[in-house]
Structures are given as C-alpha cells and as structure tokens.
Structure 1
C-alpha cells in the first residue's frame, strides 16, 4: 500500500479531508488528525490508539504495526504501508474515523453501506 491508496478509500468517508501535519500529507476529520504520512514516506502515523491496543497490534503483526522510541510514551501506532494490505488498514482506520466523525456523518455512511 501507499499513502495514496489510503487517501483514496479514506476520502470516500464523510468529513474526511486532505491536510498536512509536521510537513507531511495528512487526513483529517473535522480538523482532527485521522492519520498522517511519516517522514520516512512509508509509514502511517495513527494517533489516539490506546497503549494496550498498540501493544496487542505490535505483538500480533510486528511487520505491519510498530512504534519508535520517540512514540513510546504516546498513544500512537505506526503502520508500515509497504507491508500492509488494505484488508488490515481500512477497517482499522474506519474505526478511528467513527470516533472522530459526527453522528450525522456516521449515520449517513451506515445508511449508504
């Protein structure tokens, strides 16, 4: 996968828009970050992932999910896009999107699915 692949499916969800964060492309929902491209160009930075959930993701799929020392104390997980498949990334980000989107946007999305 690439960031463009992620961008294509995420922009189909209500209230998702392009943005930037730390000088890299980002996807935002109502001005809050859904995910951004890490400076390495291959990793997706996903905020607000509880530390215990991150630990489980890293343990189960260490080739895809990881974090660096820089993010150790923050609720952030990194996704290696070059190793990931859409079937893993899309549902993970959609769940995060559901937490950021308005109730009206979630209802409209659910009705159209």
Structure 2
C-alpha cells in the first residue's frame, strides 16, 4: 500500500513541486497548479490529472486501482486507490500529471536544460 507521504516523496523529486491544499484537502502543485489531490470524499482515492485517452485506457484495463466518479466525467483526471496501486505505475502517473501542469521552463529543469 502506498501512503500519501510516499506520493509526496515521489512528487518532490520533480522540480518546483509543493505540498499544498485544494478544496481543503492535501494536494500537490507545480507553479501553483494542482496536479494531484488526496480526496476525502466517500470514495476516497488520489486524483491525478491525465489526458482523456490515458484515463480511458486506465479504466479500460480492468485494474481495480483505477476508478472515476460522475463528478469527473469528461474531465482529464483519474482516481487511484492507493491501497491497490502499483508503486512503479503510480510514480509514472505522478510524473505524467506533473508534466501536464508544469510550465515549459519548469519542465526544462527536469530535463537538465537551462
């Protein structure tokens, strides 16, 4: 099982990530933009920003670690059950979410460009 603290450590390896809040819940931001949020709603889960195609693929995979709710219909985000998520795949999803929200000059920091 992956904890919120472990997700924060994964994300903190990326440039300019801050742990903050969004909708009064713990969140991850880059350049002030939320890319992940720990949900306290009844279904729980970690919300990560993603493309609609990636969301469809994750939901279509049948992996019980990934789900959505009607609130997120048509929106580029996936909900992740941290108790079921594979840590390596979660790390990749965190980085992908970061890439979607990080401005170009911050993305260059990750790639070592100046």
1:64-75 matched pairs, under 5 angstroms: 64-75=65-76
1:42, distance to aligned residue in structure 2 (A): 5.0
Structure 1 gaps, min length 5: none
Please tell me the root mean square deviation across aligned C-alpha atoms, in Å. 2.1
- Give the conservation status (yes or no) of the 8 Å contact 1:2–1:42: no
Q: Distance in 1 between matches of 2:105 and 2:75?
A: 30
TM-score calculated relative to the size of structure 2: 0.84
1:15-94 matched pairs, under 5 angstroms: 15-40=16-41, 42-47=44-49, 49-94=50-95
- Give the conservation status (yes or no) of the 8 Å contact 1:27–1:35: yes
Q: After TM superposition, what 4+ stretches of structure 1 lie above 6 angstroms from structure 2? A: none
- 111 and 51 in structure 1: CA distance in 2 versus 1, 3 angstrom threshold: closer
1:61, distance to aligned residue in structure 2 (A): 4.1
Q: Distance in 1 between matches of 2:31 and 2:20?
A: 11
Task: Give the SS at the match of 2:111.
Answer: helix
